[in-house]
Structure 1
Amino acid sequence: MAGPQPEGTSPFLAILSRLKYIERWSLMRNSRPENLSEHSLEVAMIAHALCVIANVRHGRHLDESRAALLGMYHDASEIITGDMPTPVKYGDGRLRDAYKDVEGRARRRLLDTLPADLRPALERAFVAGEGEDERYVARLVKAADRLSALIKCLEERACGNSEFVTAEEATRKKLRRMRQELPEVDEFMDEFLPPYGRTLDQLL
């Protein structure tokens, strides 16, 4: 992002378009590479579905579109930082805290590229707000992120790639805890997860 921008222009959306160049699972041998753009869309769709389940089946009044928006932008800072592999990011508490700080700085740097009058509205897409409902939505977005990771592991295993076996076990362990606290995650895994990995003919 070095160099001056033409006067009166904002590089914000041009920077976001670079999500497609950030590859996930960089320490792993992938049968099919996954970029951050497709991951973000999947997280947004799953988070939206989790909120629908919460509202329809559990009497909540969550903003489903808000969940999709937070999911869509949840990894945008990685355009600047790159994708930090999970074992590295969470392997040490000090490193985890330092990386959170780096992510926050990257997010602010990205938002600084916005015109001043648009920044407040778009900033809300990056950070969950206050209130019980907003915090619950943020938890569902985090669950959606982990579900997306599990789906990737299942797809790789279906391709005969044993590289993701350990990652799948670790992800399932995290999701087991979430299933106990978030009924939406439990229901998603029972009803929507099993068809992943099937062919289109089987799905239809």
Structure 2
Amino acid sequence: MKNLPVDEDTPAVKETNVTRRPLSHFFAYVARLRWIRRWGLMRNAIEENVATHSWEVATLAHALALIRNRHFGGTVNADRIAAAALYHDATEVITGDMPTPVKYHSKVMREVFGDIEHKAQEELLALLPEELRESFAPYLRESGLAYGERELIKAADRLSALLKCRAEIQAGNKEFEPAAEQILHRLQQQALPEVLYFLEVFAPGYEQPLDHLLG
């Protein structure tokens, strides 16, 4: 085989010692949230995993933030809130989904789980490249968020749980009726105007068949 002519104007490729960046397993680990089932103590007609729940909470939190800014004089950063909501249950990839009745059974249980959750946050942050940890920390640590941001994410979390309960009830699963009543009562007690707006304007659509949604 003949050698191909070399273009004299083309610079020769030099071999260089490239320093490879160390691998990070952060996103590969967080992606496993899809395998963690929620509502583990209850019979489910519709299975829900933590990844799906996190996406829904992010969309709801983003909506609540925009509604607050548009209708109720708010000035919150909706994009930051949505990003934080995506990671609000990220530690469950380490701890698993702790059922609410267990988590809040007693003051001791709350304190123990709080400590476990804090350690899980630090373990997740340690999986990131060092130069990115400071940027991700506010999203993985609740303490890094302002009160108004945490408030909307928590409300979105409860709203997501209410929608899940209602979907189960609509599917004929009466086991979720007490949970639906308790969650709705908490949301009404909290009385955030953006949540009440969502319940009035958007929530009824979740119970409609597909053909009615597009009409």
Is 1:11 matched up with 2:49?
A: no
Greater Rg over alpha carbons, structure: 2
Tell me which residue corresponds to 2:130. 116
Residue 130 of structure 1: how far off its partner (Å): 6.5
The match for 1:40 is 54
CA distance in 2, matches of 1:32, 1:59: 37
Cα pair 2:137 2:144 within 8 Å, conserved? no
Q: Determine the structure 2 residue equivalent to 1:185.
A: 195
For the residues of structure 2 that align with 1:127 and 1:136, how far apart are their CA atoms?
15
**Counterpart residue identity of residue 183, structure 1:** P
**Equivalent residues of 2:121, 2:141 under 8 A apart:** no
Contact 1:24/1:36 (8 A) holds in 2: yes
Return the offset for 1:203.
1.1
Distance 2:142 2:46 in 1: 32
Deviation at 1:128, TM superposition (A): 4.4
Map 1:36-185 → 2, pairs under 5 A: 36-128=50-142, 134-179=146-191, 182-185=192-195
Percent of aligned pairs with the same residue? 44
Structure 1 length-normalised TM = 0.91
Letter in 2 for 1:75: D
Residue type of the alignment partner of 1:50: L
Deviations 1:128-179 (A, max 9, x none): 4668xx2112101000000000000000001001111111111112111121
1:197 CA drift (Å): 2.2
Name which of structure 1's ranges 71-80 and 85-94 shifts more when overlaid on structure 2.
85-94
Q: Which aligned segments of 4 or more residues in structure 1 are displaced greater than 4 angstroms?
A: 128-131
Taking only aligned residues, the RMSD between alpha carbons, in angstroms, comes to 1.4
Question: How many angstroms apart in 1 are the aligned matches of 2:103 and 2:58?
Answer: 22
TM-score, normalised relative to structure 2: 0.87
Contact 1:153–1:165 (8 Å) recurs in 2: yes
SS of residue paired to 1:97: helix
Unaligned runs of 5+ in 1: 1-6
Q: Unaligned stretches of 5+ in structure 2?
A: 1-20
Q: How many residues of Structure 1 are paired with residues of Structure 2 in the alignment?
A: 194
Determine whether 1:196 maps to 2:206: yes
Q: Which residue of 1 aligns with 2:35?
A: 21
- Deviation per residue, 1:101-139 (Å, 9 max, x gap): 1111111101111111111111122234668xx211210
Q: Which stretch shifts more, 137-146 or 88-97?
A: 88-97
- AA aligned to 1:16 is V
Q: Do the aligned partners of 1:155 and 1:197 also contact (CA within 8 Å) in 2?
A: yes
Does structure 2 retain, via aligned residues, the 8 Å contact 1:70–1:127? Answer: no
CA distance in 1, matches of 2:46, 2:74: 38
- Contact preservation (8 Å) 1:128, 1:138: yes
Q: Tell me if the contact between 1:146 and 1:171 (Cα under 8 Å) persists in the aligned partners.
A: yes
| Structure 2 equivalent of residue 3 of structure 1 | none
